[in-house]
Structure 1
Amino acid sequence: IQGLIALLITYLFGIPAGMVMAANKGKWQDKLGTVYINIMSAVPSLAFIYFVRSIGMTLGLPDKFPVYGAHDIRSYIMPILILGLLSTGGQMLWIRRYMVDQSSSDYVKFARAKGLSNSEIFRTHILRNAIIPFVNGFPSAVIMTISGAVITETVFAIPGMGKMLPDSIKAYNNPMVIGLTFIFTAVSIFALLLGDLLVTVVDPRIQLQAKGDSR
């Protein structure tokens, strides 16, 4: 559950921030976002986790999951926030890249020649086409969230499935390893299917092409 919430936070913050950077290319918003992306890329994940955890401790949040247990929402704040922040920089970078690439396309130049406003071009042309490869990366984001949960579960001593798999491998618990592998594989396949469905929602042209092929 915490991984899904963290993924939601990543998209809710990463996509709008990347859009702002692309819309203000070369301005202070873009430079500020670039600094954040560079910091998140340069700092090791484990060091970032301990840094944010130390800040959370000064704010009264627990440094370990067993301090308050599963029934207290404070036990989940830091792991979810850290998982979300670890992936936000990458999402910002890619959405900015896609939108900047689309802004120099021929159809955007033609739309400007027709007299369309920048906001209308940005909303109806650039964003719509730039979001397609971003949606295609949804399955990878789910898999990365699962792998990132292993680190946070270890640091915060959370009894989750991410930490359970390496522990089961160390203990030679083969039935548990098989079961967890099956669950993670099923989640990955579901994420791939969901990513394909989201692409057809974002771009109906793909859906129409699929219908034509099935005839």
Structure 2
Amino acid sequence: MSEKKNSNKFKYFYLILFLTLIFILTPFVLLRGHLFVISSNSMAPTLNYGDLVIMTNKNPENILADEDRGDIIIIRGPEYFYKSGFDPSFWNNLDNKTPIIHRAIDKKKINATWYFLSKGDNNIAPDGSYTYLNKSSNYYLIEVNFSDGIFIPESEIVGVVLFKIPFIGFLNIYFIPISFLIIILLIILFIFQIKHYKVRIIKELKTQEEPKKLVLK
């Protein structure tokens, strides 16, 4: 009877594990292309490292630009900033395919196209407003000029942040090690389950091999 209970416990455990994985992975599949992971603290404390943000589309004309209440925009990547003269080393040579998620603090319209000035909440100045006055192996001198911030065209904006889910982004950041641990755990459980059934089969065989006692009347 106890063996049957243990077997049922394992079945329930596997079912719960399976449903948990489905629950975690389903949003990533359904909302693919609309999910972004915060990989720096430039937007702290509004968005923190490891947060997962959901993107939505918004007409550029309706995007709110304000230093405190402006929409948080998702920029396609830093390529436009680099082409405009911004030094890549300020962003640790960020790859062109890595989105930038910063707040829209100003905007202007030029020839029917909207241009936006962005800034991280945790940064001291708008994006693109840093320049090197002197740079050497021993030291460097930086000038920050708010008026030199780079306005990006609406074509570089993928969307705006709709809402965030704290910490869930760590699943993506550490996807490989987490997946590895899950696989190892499943292998261990599988081996343990095999041993459990092996012991059960041996017990049943021994029971069958035991000689039956004859009862004489």
TM-score, normalised to structure 1, is 0.23
User: How high is the TM-score relative to the length of structure 2?
Assistant: 0.23
Structure having the larger proportion of residues in helix: 1
Larger Rg: 2
Indicate the structure with greater strand content. Answer: 2
